[in-house]
Chains A and B, each alone.
Chain A
Amino acid sequence: MTQPFPVKRRRTNWAGIALVTPALLMVGAIIVLPLGASLAASLTDYELTSGRASWVGLGNYFALLVGDGGDAGTFRAALGHTLRFSLASLAIEFVLGFTLALLLNRVVRLSGPARTLLVLPIMVAPTVSALQWRWILDPDNGILNYVGVRLGLLSSPQLWLIQPQAAFWTLVLVDVWQTTPFVLLFLLAGLQSLPAEPYEAARVDGASSYQIFLRLTLPLLRPVILSVLLLRFMDAFRIFDIAYVLTRGGPAYATDMVSLYTYRVGLQWFAIGKSSASAVLTLLIIGACAAVLLLGLGRRGEETG
């Protein structure tokens, strides 16, 4: 009847709890409390001007999603732009970043200096890079128009941030410039951590490079790819600094984003209730996208494990 090993009793580990408590309190103070306050404010018509607030239930959410319609300057219009922006920049950054990562993974000789150069843009603060881009894109004095016209690539100076479509794609371009290196680094780290054995086996079996990439690299890299897509999507969806500095959401709110909308309603119109609702909706949308991606990540783990 005696067991070979003593059964480990579940005991309360007070020392552990004591060590974790400060961190939990901190998290509670800086994350849970403000989040709860935003949630509470989003159910009221709290106005900073008067300081008064009364309960409106889901009224703010209804106004944002239905009541205000989808014209320029509304939450729905901003949401559409934000989704379009996130998906467009994500797609371009991923293709570019992946291509560069594969190249750098292959070419060993120059990869050190090349990596350093390619990674430089992430070192620049987004506001600073947006300001630099504003100078580069300036229609009258910007270097892009100057060089473009001199080299004959542009027939005349272009108004990069004045035409709605051009302004939108300019924001995408700046975001791609700024964050492709992040995707590149992430995927390169993933590539370099892949095991060598399956590749040797595949080559022995006579698989082509194309087959190896499709059947081996992509599946093995899947968790890394999903993680980088998730991180970049959340980041792109929260775009504020680049858009604020370059376009302020203009022209005519053609590049209005949910973060700019939240800022405008809350901190310029002082309608804190409505702006909190907008922030909570943003959170829910990102949370939902994250959950979908993470479930995909989990399923993969089950297959191999």
Chain B
Amino acid sequence: MRSVSRVWGVSLALLLVLALLAGCTAVTPAGDTAPAAESGAGAAGAAAPVEITVAAQSGHTATNAVKDKLAEFEAATGIKVNVVEIPEKDLTQKMLLEFSNNTGAFDALMAPEDAFAKYVTNGYLLSLKEAGGEPADAGDFVPRFLDRVRYDGAKLYQGDLYGLPLNGDVNVMYYNTELFTQAGLDPDKPPQTWDEFLAAAKALTKDGVYGTAWLGVQGDASTWAWATYLFSEGGDFFDENNHPVFNSEAGVKALQMIVDMIHTDQVMPPSVSSWDYDQINAAFPQGRVAMVINWPYMLSLANDPAQSAVAGKVKIALAPKGETYGVPSGGWKWLIAKASKHPAEALKFIEFATSTDFQSYMVETYSQLPTRTSVYDAMKANNPDDYTWQVWQDAFSQSARFMPVQYPEWSQISSIISLALQQAQIQEKTPQEALDAAAAQVEELMQQAGYYSQ
């Protein structure tokens, strides 16, 4: 009798263990069907206005712009828009769950640069032609942005439109003019080459201020940030046959430069290998770092007196040139879900959210970069004293490169590269060793994925 009760005791306790663990093991695609019910409601009554559900990244300024302007759109079209805000970390994952279970919960969605390939190659998106036709003024969009939402059924970035470009994103250099003056540098002559950049960084590093910093943290942020160094030294991530080449001479030089700036020149904070956007977003506006290379949001953040101690003392310039100019670029997109029950209305919505009026508002209120030629021209004409428009245009025309986000394996590739960047930064391996090991791993990954046999 006793042994029986012990068996029961043990199994009950094990069940308890399972119960405790259920939370961390339950990675099933079964959950989260609630929004499906919501969107279904719109189609119920014939007289009721059509309601569409739109996924947007919470906190993104474009989302704020949509919320500001939504009433205008609803009044003009009679379409009711339900904006669901999703944190950046969960957005792609949530959309993939919805799409692979074909819930039809979302009609339109905001997507970052690296998500488009994942969606469109798996047939989760509706082309604009299928939704009701490509917009008549599509020619107004800058081709380099518009091409990033094209797909011809086999190749990415050519063929039919599967969405419209929301904003432009490109890395430039931000620098603190006050610290430049204090260090005896001319704030109107920012460094143009990496040599000048390093010299300026050395002059700026004093009294607790560091010349520069970068996104050294383990994760995607550092892979993107390193691209500036890699591209400008003339390197690239892959060759045209899908073989990794980031461990080239240029790649090693690009990583050595960062390692030297941390350990030899000591112009970066010693803790920079753990710096994520949070740290950069605090240090630069506090005036603790004099120069950073970052995305456009940095300019409005650093020049906003409510959030920045250096407001009005920040200027931008092209990121330094090595062998060439080169920085990562991208942009968010508005897309239409294949499973949408109201594709025509979803198309109307994304046309509205990329219209000339809307973009002008988004640019003026939230300092986003537009994707329409007409808006660029209007901004330059209306603000002849604003030098930044020229810098942005030069950045796109001279520097901007794309990341290899066309590979569905990109997240894993980026994580492998980021590990190498970490190993070099904490001097566990030399840049050459770290990058060689990472390239070998990526080569194996690509081979397993079927890009080549040997």
Contact = CB atoms under 8 A, between A and B. Distances in A.
Interface of A: 27, 30-31, 33-35, 37-38, 41, 48-51, 72-73, 138-140, 159, 161-164, 234, 238, 240, 247-253, 259, 262, 264, 266-272, 275-276, 279-280, 282-283, 286-287, 290-291, 294-295, 298, 301-302, 305
B96 A48 contact: yes
B397 interface: no
Contacts of A280: 25
Interface in B3-17: 6, 9-10, 13-14, 17
Given A38-B28, A162-B273, A279-B27, A51 B99 contact: yes
Interface string B18-29: 111110111111
Given A248-B218, A279-B25, 11 more contacts: A159-B271, A164-B426, A252-B218, A259-B24, A264-B415, A267-B27, A270-B93, A272-B29, A282-B21, A282-B24, A294-B13
Describe B's contact surface by its main secondary structure.
helix
30 contacts: A27-B19, A31-B22, A33-B30, A34-B25, A34-B26, A35-B25, A38-B25, A38-B26, A41-B27, A50-B100, A51-B101, A72-B423, A73-B416, A73-B419, A139-B271, A161-B271, A238-B21, A249-B218, A250-B218, A251-B218, A251-B273, A252-B218, A252-B419, A252-B422, A253-B218, A270-B93, A280-B25, A282-B25, A287-B14, A291-B14
B122 interface: yes
A167 B274 CA distance: 11
Interface in B411-431: 411-412, 415-416, 419, 422-423, 425-426, 428
B219 interface: yes
A103 B56 CA distance: 55
A140 B288 CA distance: 10
Interface in B274-303: 274, 288
Contacts of B408: 49-50
Contacts of A35: 18, 22, 25-26
Interface string B107-128: 0000000000010001000000
Describe A's contact surface by its main secondary structure.
helix
A39 to B, nearest CB: 9
Contacts of B217: 248, 250
Interface string B256-281: 00000000000001110110000000
B7 to A, nearest CB: 9
A163 B13 contact: no
A218 B270 CA distance: 48
Interface of B: 2, 6, 9-10, 13-14, 17-22, 24-30, 93, 96-97, 99-101, 118, 122, 217-219, 269-271, 273-274, 288, 408, 411-412, 415-416, 419, 422-423, 425-426, 428
Contacts, number: 149
A31 B426 contact: no
Of A41, A73, A286, most B-chain CB atoms within 10 Å: A73
A31 B93 contact: no
Nearest to A275: B27
Given A48-B96, A250-B274, A294-B13, A163 B426 contact: yes
A33 B25 CA distance: 11
Contacts of B270: 139, 159, 162
B24 A279 contact: yes
Contacts of A51: 96, 99-101, 122
Contacts of A271: 412
B139 to A, nearest CB: 32
B415 A283 contact: no
Contact of A49 (B26, B96, B101, B288): B96
Contacts of B19: 27, 31
Contacts of B99: 51
Nearest to A272: B27
B81 to A, nearest CB: 27
Of B14, B21, B408, most A-chain CB atoms within 10 Å: B21
A31 B218 CA distance: 33
Of A41, A72, A301, most B-chain CB atoms within 10 Å: A72
A294 B273 contact: no
Contacts of A252: 218, 419, 422-423, 426, 428
B415 A268 contact: yes
